[in-house]
Amino acid sequence: MAGQPYLDLPPARVARGTVALPGSKSISNRVLLLAALAQGTTRIQGLLASDDTRVMLDGLAKLGVPLEPQDDGTLVVRGVGRFPERQAELFLGNAGTAFRSMTAALALMGGQYRLSGVPRMHERPIGDLVQALRDLGAQIDYLGNPGYPPLAIGPMGRLAERAVQVQGNVSSQFLTALLMAAPLALAGTARPLVIEVAGELISKPYIEITLNLMARFGVTVRREGWQRFVVPAGSAYVAPGLIQVEGDASSASYFLALGAIGGGPVRVTGAGADSIQGDIAFADTLQAMGARIERGPDWIQASGVRVAEGGRLAAFDADFNLIPDAAMTAAALALYADGPCRLRNIGSWRVKETDRIHAMQTELAKLGAQVESGADWLRVTPPAPGAWRDAHIGTWDDHRMAMCFSLAAFGPAAVRILDPGCVAKTFPDYFDVYAGLVHGPDTAARSTQASP
């Protein structure tokens, strides 16, 4: 990675402090689309400022949605119901929440649209969603490899009268996209839209977020188990007036982990016991590893051992299907466990910003861990005393890789994070916040430019 920026992390010993979490990415992009599709005006507070929300905002602006930033950080969205611009080319970066949900909304609305992203987005599958939309009557063509973006969307045909099926075992974002776009297809009809899930639905908590937010905008979906969802006839979004975006529970995992390995206490605010996000359950994972967890309605606090002084976390063997993003933090914590750790049911990692199973195995091994993997699992044996190795950690253009491996600074090896700027996808000032919590012989991380 010659010629790219890097960050040398100073040796870390102790972590303590309080962090006000940035807004949830999952909630932010859902709320932006729902507010745009609603009748009336929505004032959004706590919206995440990041690459993923920027591409969603850029896309909505191109489609004719009035967006009015306020001096206090609130965003006013004047809902349009249906996008005024009937032709547009949208670039949606590597934001899966934006690409999948926008694909469904535009396809069921009809018009002439082209959607593209970064090269990695063109490697992330979307065929199951496209097939479901085609079954409903949408016109979508692949502009590159079948089953993958970029896409061309044409006029909507007659809405199919049967239930539509979507695969559930690749990405929950496919079902989320169909659910959020469904009211567009129901305009002028007198019947509900039934969505059936084929196979096992992964990442169910993200569907809970979707259903919760749709209800706040006036559309209550009837869920029959996890296999059948009924969107009522006549459904239409209505602006709730004011909506507050919760702090990001996935981002909370890194700071709670700091408390677990750096003594703590570390408290995160903005998401807590009342959160609608599934990743808030990562606190339970930490508790099972030996951390002390305290909770309030909108905060969580973690305290634990000091691994730099020989403390160890309890090893784990766990199913992480429900919290795949926070599971990456658990994989990094395996470096400090008292035995081998196994992460199961994480097959969705393969189709994220990078192949996270391969990337995590590669980078953990650089530090001296013994790592094995399969199609949907990872097994990490922590480095033995004296076996740690200095490492330049590749981040694979994946924000979560960079944030997870900041935890490696508590080990005895020198750690350099390559391309730390990739955190801009969801948390642009992550390393500044991290530096304010971590204490050691040298508390100032050094950012510089690598020599060619």
Give the contacts of 104 (CB within 8 A, at least 6 positions apart): 129, 133, 177, 178, 180, 181
From edge to edge, which strands make up the β-sheet containing 391-393? Answer: 391-393, 415-418, 5-9, 446-449
Helix and strand totals (H; E) in the chain: 12, 25
Question: Any idea what DSSP says for residue 136?
Answer: H
Catalytic (active site) residue 325: yes
Integer angstrom CA distances of residue 419 from 204, 243, 448: 32, 34, 11
Integer angstrom CA distances of residue 128 from 125, 132, 169, 177, 313: 8, 6, 10, 11, 40
- 3-state secondary structure at position 339: coil
Give the contacts of 258 (CB within 8 A, at least 6 positions apart): 15, 264, 266, 302, 407, 434, 437, 438
- What gap in Å lies between CA 432 and CA 426, rounded to an integer? 14
Task: Choose the catalytic residue: 325, 398, 429, 432.
Answer: 325
Position 98, amino acid: A
- What gap in Å lies between CA 91 and CA 212, rounded to an integer? 28
Residues carrying an active site annotation: 325
